[in-house]
Structures are given as structure tokens and as C-alpha cells.
Amino acid sequence: MANSNGWGDGAANNAIGWGQGANNAIGWGDIHADSWAGLTDISGFPTTDPDAQAFITAAAITDPTQQAAINTLVVDLKGYSIWTKFDAIYPMVGGTSTMHSYNLRNTANFQLTFSGGWTHSSTGAKPNGTNAYADTGYNVNTNASLNSHHLSYYSRTNSNGTEVEIGVNGNNSDYNLLEIRTSGTTYFAINSAGFATYSDANSQGFYVGNRTASNVLNGWKNGTKVANTTTASTTKANGNLYIGAALNLGSPLYYSVKECAFSTIGQGLTDTEAANFYTAVQAFQTSLNRNV
């Protein structure tokens, strides 16, 4: 039987696992480390990933369920070895514009600036479709790779208007955007003049526009590749990505009404990575009771 000092099997009852022998990779006397049984410290209490904690602190997230969801998301993304592929991750958790503005990947970079009419709640950030957009501060030409780039957007709203959920058109011919369900079609464009398209019956779900090579452009919905094309990459748009609209030659355009529960910017994802990405994000949304 284990006791409060951690003598015993090292699994269910204590963190260090003194007595486990070969299973105990942590040296006796380590005051704060992971045990073989999981992410716990010497006291047996769960620890928080440092990147998750940095976000929780910056965004002032106090709700235990939200804190746990953020921590699990970060651990999952790292477990799938895709954490470093993101430049910006916007979890849209906390319920206020300030909380929703922070970048989980690095709270010091690419913080959102919301403009126009937004509704912020526990389910995400909803633009009004008239004048609402959020400037990411992420200039595609400066920060993105021409042939390895992705955008994602978790939409909780079914709409069929001429709307862009996240995007920029910097020179009126080369696009970097997700345009979800315009006249029954979803458009994916990453550093290209052409699109990968998908006949879309409902615009709720998790979308990823993804380029992995100069001639590989694809689109994903809910972990399934739904669009694929050899449309070539051309030129990176010289402008900031907007959420809730597209920056078009210096002005926001194509305002969206789709509530955003998650959005990311980063490098291109392999098919396996894109599928795992959905698994992690959907688990995150489900833990917050806002999955679609």
C-alpha cells in the first residue's frame, strides 16, 4: 500500500514511484519532475505545460475547465509533433475581446486587434458581417513561407454568403485565404491566384487551407481532405492577415458572420499532421462544450 510520502507502485498513488525500479526514470530526490505514470510532480498533483501556463497567465484565464482545456490542447499538439509548425494559435477562450486576442503559440507576438462589431462569449468570437475584423499583425510577405503555409478556422455558424473567414489579398491577384461556403462552395487559396474548391452543404466545422509544395494545395474539413489541386504558388500577398474578413488592397472586405472558436496560422501540414490537428482541436472544443 502506498502512503503520502510516495512509497509504493508509483502509478496511481504517487508521482515519483519509488520502488518501481526500471519503470522509474526519475531520479530519487528530483523535487519537480514527470513520473512514469504521467505529467505529475512530486506531490502527485498535475502540472501545467509552461507554454499553456504562459497563455493562461497573459490572458487571465481563471476558469478551471478552460485552463485544463488549454493545457490539454498544448500537450496534444506537442505530442503530435506539430506545435512548432504554428506561428499563431487563437483559441478564442475566455469570453472577452482581451482574452480572445492572445496568441497561444507566443503571447508576445501577433496579438489580435479587434475592430467593428464583435460578440465575444464563452463559445468564441462572432463578427457581425458588416464591419468586424481582427488584424493579426501577421504580414504574409514577411512571415510566411511561399510553399509551406496553412490557415485554419473553426466555424460555429452555418452561412452561405460572400464571406472570408481569414485572409489577405495584397495585390489583387494572389490570395492567402479561407473562404468558407460562398454559394455552396468553400474556397481554399494559399499564396496562389487559383483555388482548391469544395461543394459544401454546411459551413460549420474545422477548416484548414494548406500548401505543402509549389504545386500542392489542399483543403480540409473536420480531419478529411475535401479539396486538392496542383494550382501553383505565385507570390505572397504583402499585407496582414485578417480574421472575420480579408484585407483587400489596404481595406477590409468580404466580412464574415461565422463565429470563430479557433484559428491558426503556420507552416504546411502533412496529411497525417492535418488529421491529427483536427483530433486535437475537436477534443479541445468538446471539453469546452462548444464542438460542432
- Which of 147-151, 186-190, 246-250, 280-284 shows the lowest per-residue confidence on average (mean pLDDT)? 246-250
How confident is the model over 131-148, as pLDDT tens digits? 999 999 999 999 999 999
Q: What is the DSSP string of 40-101?
A: B-TTSPBP--HHHHHHHHHHT---HHHHHHHHHHHHHHHHTT-GGGEEEEE---SSSHHHHH
Give the Cβ contact number of residue 39 at 10 Å. Answer: 13
Average pLDDT over residues 71-98: 98
Residue pointed to by grid coordinates 483543403: 219
What single DSSP character describes residue 107? T
d(CA 94, CA 181): 28
Nearest one of 46, 47, 36 to 11, comparing CA atoms: 36
CA 250 to chain CA centroid, Å, is: 26
Average pLDDT over residues 108-112: 98
What does pLDDT average to over the chain? Answer: 88
- The CA angle 186-190-196, to the nearest 5 degrees, is 35
Average pLDDT over residues 136-162: 97
Contact 128, 120 (CB under 8 A): no
CB neighbour list of residue 212: distance below 8 Å, 6 or more residues apart: 147, 148, 218, 268, 269, 270
Q: What is the DSSP string of 109-134?
A: S---EEES-EEEETTEEEE-SSS-EE
Nearest one of 17, 15, 68, 72 to 45, comparing CA atoms: 15
From-to residues of CATH 2.60.120.200 in the chain: 50-287
pLDDT at 170: 74
pLDDT band at 35 (very low <50, low <70, confident <90, very high): very low
pLDDT band at 39 (very low <50, low <70, confident <90, very high): low
**Residue type present at position 22:** A
- Which of 44-48, 133-137, 229-233 shows the lowest per-residue confidence on average (mean pLDDT)? 44-48
Bigger pLDDT: 23 vs 277 = 277
d(CA 169, CA 163): 13
How confident is the model over 172-226, as pLDDT tens digits? 667 999 999 999 999 999 999 999 999 999 999 999 999 999 999 999 999 999 9
- For the CA atoms of 63, 243, 133, 139, what is the dihedral angle to 10 degrees? 120
The percentage of the chain sitting over the pLDDT mark of 90, rounded to a whole number, equals 81
Taking the model in full, what pTM does it have? Answer: 0.85
pLDDT at 174: 79
SS3 276: helix
d(CA 52, CA 104): 7
Tell whether the model's pLDDT for residue 32 goes beyond 60.
no
Bigger pLDDT: 44 vs 116 = 116
Tell whether the model's pLDDT for residue 157 goes beyond 70.
yes
pLDDT band at 21 (very low <50, low <70, confident <90, very high): very low
What single DSSP character describes residue 105? S
Contact 156, 219 (CB under 8 A): no
Tell whether the model's pLDDT for residue 12 goes beyond 80.
no
pLDDT at 290: 98
- Which of 40-44, 226-230, 288-292 shows the lowest per-residue confidence on average (mean pLDDT)? 40-44
pLDDT band at 45 (very low <50, low <70, confident <90, very high): low
d(CA 97, CA 115): 10
pLDDT band at 249 (very low <50, low <70, confident <90, very high): confident
pLDDT at 130: 98
Taking the CA atoms of the chain, what radius of gyration do you get in angstroms?
21
Contact 26, 19 (CB under 8 A): no
CATH class of domain segment(s) 50-287 = mainly beta
Average pLDDT over residues 109-126: 98
pLDDT at 173: 67
Backbone angles phi, psi at 67, to 5 degrees: -60, -45
